[in-house]
Amino acid sequence: MFNVAMPFLCCVSSAVTIGTDMLELDCHITKDEQVVVSHDANLKRSTGINVNVSDLKYCELPPYLCKLDVPFQRACKCEGKDNRIPLLKEVFEAFPETPINIDIKVNNNVLIKKVSELVKQYKREHLTVWGNASSEIVEKCYKENSDIPILFSLQRVLLILGLFFTGLLPFVPIREQFFEIPMPSIILNLLMRKALFDHLTARGIQVYVWVLNEEHEYKRAFDLGATGVMTDYPTKLKDFLNNFSA
């Protein structure tokens, strides 16, 4: 479904979360303030042309090469004729019901404001979670529009971890709704605790682990009580989940 519905999306979305299907997108802003979905700020890797998204107007952006060997193109064929770099609003229109995790890839106030406006315009607050590993960006997102759920920044992930091990976590308020654990990471083994996952999910926080591509990793995450995992291989994960729940 994912590849067929929109060929270009397979070039831009590094992973799909399954539990419920969720797209994970990286956003940038063009010179004429259009929000586009692109993994990198610089387009050399994806289009062959060494330019930055922020230096061009939307209509000036080069098309995707759609050839292989880029990590985020692994799971797809990119045979579609339409290999323009997509606007965020086009993704919203193509996937009106699908939850989307938006990574704000640059610390840019206009980008944050425009994404917020689009989310409002398409009434997707309940289908969106946004943020970045940087706590400064997450803070700006929250200030811009507190109706959109935010991700834990890396700093907050570490804080939560410290609170968990000192036993203080139950006493600390948490306003984030999505706890996403980056993989691979040295801290992952510390973080993958059933007691921690249980505590967070009991407080209504969704716990995602990414990016996992092996069955034994999927199993470990779900055994611990993860809400979902992000993967570059959605079909493999779907097959795993069918067996897991059966």
DSSP state of 52: B
How far apart are alpha carbons 54 and 239 in whole angstroms? 39
DSSP annotation string for 167-206 = T-GGGS----SEEEEESS-TTHHHH--HHHHHHHHHTT-E
In whole angstroms, how close is the CB of 99 to ligand NAG at the nearest point?
17
- Choice from 133, 158, 163, 174 touching ligand NAG (CB under 6 A): 133
Task: Name the residue nearer to ligand NAG (CB basis): 78 or 157.
Answer: 157
Short-list 115, 109, 106, 160, CA closest to 134: 106
Short-list 198, 192, 235, 190, CA closest to 210: 192
Task: Name the residue nearer to ligand NAG (CB basis): 132 or 231.
Answer: 132
Span from 12-20, 29-37, 72-80, 98-106 in contact with ligand NAG (CB under 6 A):
98-106
| Per-residue contact string for residues 56-95; x = within reach of ligand NAG by CB under 6 A | ----------------------------------------
Is 134 an interacting residue with respect to ligand NAG (CB under 6 A)? yes
Matching residue, tokens 């729940």: 245
Matching residue, tokens 């259009």: 34
Residues in the chain, overall count? 246
**Neighbouring-strand partners of residue 206:** 178
Task: Name residues contacting ligand NAG, limited to 178-197 (CB under 6 A).
Answer: none
Is 132 an interacting residue with respect to ligand NAG (CB under 6 A)? yes
Is 107 an interacting residue with respect to ligand NAG (CB under 6 A)? yes
Task: Name the residue nearer to ligand NAG (CB basis): 152 or 240.
Answer: 152
Binding residues for ligand NAG (CB under 6 A): 42, 50-52, 55, 103, 105-107, 132-134, 137
